Amino acid sequence: MSITAPAGFRAAGVTAGLKASGKPDLALVVNDGPQHVGAAVFTSNRVVGAPVTWSRQVVADGVVNAVVLNSGGANVATGPEGFGHAHATAERAADLLGISAADVVVCSTGLIGVPLAADRLLAGLDVAAAALGTDGGEAAATAIMTTDTVAKTTHVPGAGWSVGGMAKGAGMLAPALATMLVVLTTDAVVDAATADAALRDAVGTTFDRIDSDGCMSTSDTVVLMSSGASGITPTPEDFAEAVRSACATLARALIADAEGSTHDIAVEVVGATDTGAAVAVARAVTRSNLFKAAMFGNDPNWGRIIAQVGTVPEDVAPFDPARLDVSINGLLICRAGGAHEDPAQLDLAADREVHVRIDLHAGDAAATVWTNDLSHAYVHENSAYST
Amino acid sequence: MSITAPAGFRAAGVTAGLKASGKPDLALVVNDGPQHVGAAVFTSNRVVGAPVTWSRQVVADGVVNAVVLNSGGANVATGPEGFGHAHATAERAADLLGISAADVVVCSTGLIGVPLAADRLLAGLDVAAAALGTDGGEAAATAIMTTDTVAKTTHVPGAGWSVGGMAKGAGMLAPALATMLVVLTTDAVVDAATADAALRDAVGTTFDRIDSDGCMSTSDTVVLMSSGASGITPTPEDFAEAVRSACATLARALIADAEGSTHDIAVEVVGATDTGAAVAVARAVTRSNLFKAAMFGNDPNWGRIIAQVGTVPEDVAPFDPARLDVSINGLLICRAGGAHEDPAQLDLAADREVHVRIDLHAGDAAATVWTNDLSHAYVHENSAYST
């Protein structure tokens, strides 16, 4: 059950020949309406791919009719020619579908600085358009995979309407800068403002809280389309919750499939003065190579955790270092800033998932950021990706 | 030529038994005067070791008579007992030297959260005091080594006076949070304010611009002592330059000895609006695991460089992404934000040192931050350190 589970959507995934492997590399998702509401969130990187520049314009009016996604080339740092390729992609899709190019979002993933094989992509679009079907969601999810080991899809049912989704990438999965592409579909009747608000809220507490390797992509795109085909208008709260649930499932799936990783690590910060403080502390820990390497070694090295906590400025996260508690998988190994239970009681090798809980004892706010461990396989893959 | 090269200093390095290996692990450096000016810079981490808490009080009055340094235990997250151990260390050194404990700086390095073997340390101090000599600089530099492969020392001659120095640690060298300990000595006649200003300026452009793995220590300490034994008062400018030179040499030596690394990487940012912007951009690149892994693979992946440049907020570093130039070892592989010379012309495997130059084309300011590559050996060492 994927992006074609909600009514009003067709999708396809085909091989355009962009990948040397010959695996599927081009996906097309079409919203057949009756409504064509669209919203999207893009990377906050100042260096962005041509598809991001193009697609920002597309979504500005809240209307999206289709999304074209390719793997096998990011179309980033490719200059005016690259923008031309993104534009031509939208034009060809529009011609094939009888819609306006200004309503076609384009997403690309792969190496940076390499020209897109635009001829192959455009020819592939003809094949994709012919292959469109209301059962094409899985094929589309497969075509956007890079080093993902499984296609990632989700479906959240509502009362007579639903939200579908697919995702690729994240962290070690996507050595070319952790590129994450996500398409969400719904047949709920929602207006553009409601869709935009629901998507931004959902991304802020899901995709924005996974951090596999700290590297921000130039191509991250999360796009939501509503067909309204169910004829049902959910409450904004119900709709937002369904979108959040779909994003949470996909975000968790990205971490779980992070290639080269041996652990999924939840860093939960509680007792913070506000959510921003909790996120800042959690993110500091998830970005520590020393902590992540220790996790790879199944070493519950809490010293590396509190040292990272201490790097967060006091105006960002007020707390007293002498009151810090740290638990791993429920065992309180650091209490009031010092050693407590014996970490040797922990067997981190037993499970893929590790739960780190840090109590700042400064307030009532909490947040969780997910990351992976730093492994030999991560170094290997990322030292050998483009050469 | 080390910390005992300037007149008025004695030092010793002995085995106290803190390290399981039986290697030297305790150093003592004494300023015999006639003046006892001291200045120090400490980690900005909010979680600090007991020795940092103690030593901040010691240097507050600008007077330092001696420094005790141990490897084999960081004395961090050890609570009131740990502070007691730092205090007792200073008291024992003071008794042995006939000085005040309030003038004894204490530095410790090793694992966090493990109680210091204070009895051994105190007994070792007796041995160290007996071994003090004006030729003890090398022994002291050896005793503060952890996984360093060479003792790191320097000596910068002035006109009748000089600056000596020793250092341990940094990045992969010091898996327990990159702890860096540095002692500088001089026989120049300087007052406390001049010494403090010179040291802060020097640290800001040297030790603050090496970043082997992005992890801030809980124990970093750089301490400068002046004996005034030369009787010569240099100009503040000459003195500051000598201190800066000594710090620059030691900082470069820390990067060069970063265990597990195969490359020393200078990330130079030019064309910035101000120095802060240049440092922010350089630091963003030096903290990218994807870039560092590519360097390990001798892969001149400039896409990962510009993607990191793009993560720096515009209010921190104004620049136009479409004007970015990137050179590696003098070859302009990215011009105006796009591919230029063929990176295949580069043979990064040929040299340990790699020079990345990023031109923002936004102003006249420049800065260089040094880092290392991300290697299998880094992951291995840091996943196996405490267990």
**CATH classification of the domain holding A290:** 3.10.20.340
Identity of the residue numbered B51: P
Express each pLDDT in A249-301 by its tens digit.
999 998 888 878 999 999 999 999 999 999 999 999 998 888 999 999 999 99
Q: What is the C-alpha separation between B100 and A280, in angstroms, rounded?
A: 42
Q: Can you give the three-state secondary structure of A50-102, one letter per residue?
A: HHHHHHHHHHCCCECCEEEEECCECCCCCHHHHHHHHHHHHHHHHHHHCCCHH
Residue A184 to residue A3: CA distance in whole angstroms: 6
pLDDT for A174 equals 33
What is the per-residue pLDDT for A180? Answer: 83
Determine the 3-state secondary structure of A172 from DSSP. Answer: helix
pLDDT tens by residue, A318-376: 999 999 999 999 999 999 999 999 999 999 999 999 999 999 999 999 999 999 999 99
Q: Do the chains contact at A384 and B299, CB–CB below 8 Å?
A: yes
Res A147 pLDDT > 90: no
CB of B316 within 8 Å of a chain A CB? The answer is: no
Q: Which domain holds residue A249?
A: 9-256
* H helix and E strand count, chain A: 10, 15
Whether residue B161 is found in the same domain as residue B205: yes
Q: Which positions in chain B touch A338 (Cβ < 8 Å)?
A: 77-79, 113
Task: Report yes or no: A317 and A336 within 8 Å, Cβ to Cβ.
Answer: no
Selected residues 216-235 of chain A with any CB under 8 Å from a CB in chain B? 216-218
Q: What is the pLDDT of residue A95?
A: 98
Say whether both A311 and A367 belong to one domain: yes
Query: Do B166 and B306 belong to one domain?
Result: no
Do residues B178 and B49 share a domain? yes
Q: CATH number, domain at A243?
A: 3.60.70.12
> Is the pLDDT assigned to residue A386 strictly greater than 90?
no
Residues of B in contact with A219 (CB under 8 A): none
| Same domain flag for A234 and A268 | no
- Check if A179 is active-site: yes
Structural domain includes residue B359: yes
Q: Is A78 on the interface with B (CB under 8 A)?
A: yes
Residue identified by tokens 């003890």 is: B136
In a domain, A4, yes or no: no
Whether B288 and A334 lie within 8 Å, measured CB to CB: no
Q: Of B256, B282, B310, at which residue does a domain stop?
A: B256
A115–chain B nearest CA distance, Å: 9
CA–CA separation, A160 vs B131, rounded Å? 84
What is the pLDDT averaged over residues A10-36? 96
Q: Does some domain include residue A286?
A: yes
Give exposure, A87-120, as e/b (b: 16+ Cβ within 10 Å).
Answer: bbbbbbbbebbebebbbbbbbbbbbbbbebbbeb
Closest-CA distance, B78 to chain A, in angstroms, reads 6
On whether residue B3 sits in a domain, the answer given is: no
A3 within domain boundaries: no
What is the DSSP annotation of B127-193? HHHHH-BTT-HHHHHHHT-SS-SS-EEEEEE-SS-EEEEEEEE-GGG-TTTT-EEEEEEE-S---HH
CA angle A142, A144, A149 (to 5 degrees): 60
Residues B47 and B103 in one domain: yes
Whether residue B250 is found in the same domain as residue B278: no
- Asked whether residue A387 carries a pLDDT value surpassing 50, the answer given is no
- How many domains are there within chain B? 2
* DSSP code of residue A210: B
Mean pLDDT of A74-103: 96
Binding-site residues of B for substrate sit at: 146, 168, 179, 259, 382, 387
Same domain (yes/no): A248, A294? no
Share of chain A above pLDDT 90, in %: 80
Domain boundary among A256, A289, A313: A256
Sequence-ordered strand ranges (E) for A79-161: 104-108, 152-157
The reply to whether omega before B34 is within 30° of 0 (cis) is: yes
Whether residue A163 is found in the same domain as residue A100: yes
Q: Which chain B positions have a beta carbon within 8 Å of A305's beta carbon?
A: none
In this structure, is residue B4 part of a structural domain?
A: no
- The answer to whether position A1 is within a domain reads no
Round to whole Å and give the CA distance between A244 and A156: 10
Cα A261–chain centre separation: 17
Of B256, B276, B298, the last residue of a domain is: B256
pLDDT in tens, A157-189: 999 999 999 999 855 433 333 468 999 999 999
Residue A261, phi then psi, degrees to nearest 5: -85, 155
**Residue entry with tokens 């020949």:** A17
Instruction: Tell me which DSSP letter residue A207 carries.
Output: G
Q: Which amino acid is at B203?
A: V
Flag if B303 and A213 touch (Cβ within 8 Å): no
Same domain, A251 and A282: no
Does one domain contain both A77 and A218? yes
The two three-digit tokens of residue A372, written as one number: 């992976």
Which pLDDT belongs to residue B211?
82
Task: Give pLDDT tens digits for A114-137.
Answer: 899 999 999 999 999 999 999 999
Q: Tell me the pLDDT of chain B (387 aa) as tens digits.
A: 799 999 999 999 999 999 989 999 999 999 999 999 999 999 888 889 999 999 999 999 999 999 999 999 999 999 999 999 999 999 999 999 999 999 999 999 988 888 999 999 999 999 999 999 999 999 999 999 988 889 999 999 999 999 999 999 855 433 333 468 999 999 999 999 999 999 999 999 999 888 877 777 888 899 999 999 999 999 999 999 999 999 999 999 988 888 789 999 999 999 999 999 999 999 999 988 889 999 999 999 999 899 899 989 999 999 999 999 999 999 999 999 999 999 999 999 999 999 999 999 999 999 999 999 999 988 887 777 554
CA B249 from chain center: how many Å? Answer: 10
Q: What is the C-alpha to C-alpha distance for residues B124 and B118, in angstroms, rounded to an integer?
A: 10
Residue A121 and residue A93 in contact, taking contact as beta carbons nearer than 8 Å:
no
Whether A322 and A276 share a structural domain: yes
Mutate which of A44, A45, A47, A380 to disrupt the B interface (most B C-beta within 10 Å)? A47
Distances (CA, A) of B284 to A381, B211, B257: 21, 10, 22
Residue B319's SS3 state is coil
CA distance A168 to chain B (A): 18
Tell me whether residue A362 is in a domain. yes
pLDDT in tens, B23-51: 999 999 999 999 999 999 998 888 899 99
Q: Tell me how far apart the alpha carbons of residues B326 and B294 are, in angstroms, rounded to a whole number.
A: 15
State how far Cα B50 lies from the chain centre: 19
Q: At CB < 8 A and 24+ separation, what contacts does B83-87 make? A: B83/B50, B83/B53, B83/B54, B85/B50, B85/B115, B85/B116, B85/B118, B85/B121, B86/B49, B86/B50, B86/B51, B86/B53, B86/B54, B86/B55, B87/B54
**In b/e form, how buried is each residue of A372-386, taking b as 16+ CB within 10 angstroms?**
bbbbbbbbbbbbebb
The per-residue pLDDT for A171 is 53
Nearest to A386 among B176, B218, B299 (CB): B299
Model confidence at A385: pLDDT above 70: no
Distance separating alpha carbons of residues B311 and B292, to the nearest angstrom: 16
